[in-house]
Amino acid sequence: MILSLWTGVLSGQCPEKCYCDGHRVICRGQQLSTIPLSVSHATELDLMTNTLASIPDDAFNGWPNLTEL
């Protein structure tokens, strides 16, 4: 039961339509038109093959540890 609760907490930290692997957030090929909600511990964000038309200046303000896009 404790493992089940822990898994739920971890999965809640990953944006919808994305896959999280440690410090990586992978949202490749998900038809995203906006930047996903932040994952504060993430250092990498993969947005390849999405439908982002524009990226607002403040789009990554909630990603304080992001070093690779």
CA angle 40, 50, 30 (to 5 degrees): 75
Q: Which CATH architecture has domain 1-69?
A: Alpha-Beta Horseshoe (3.80)
The domain locations on the chain are: 1-69
In which band, very low, low, confident or very high, does the pLDDT at 8 lie, cut at 50, 70 and 90?
A: very low
User: pLDDT for 44-62, tens place per residue?
Assistant: 999 999 999 999 999 999 9
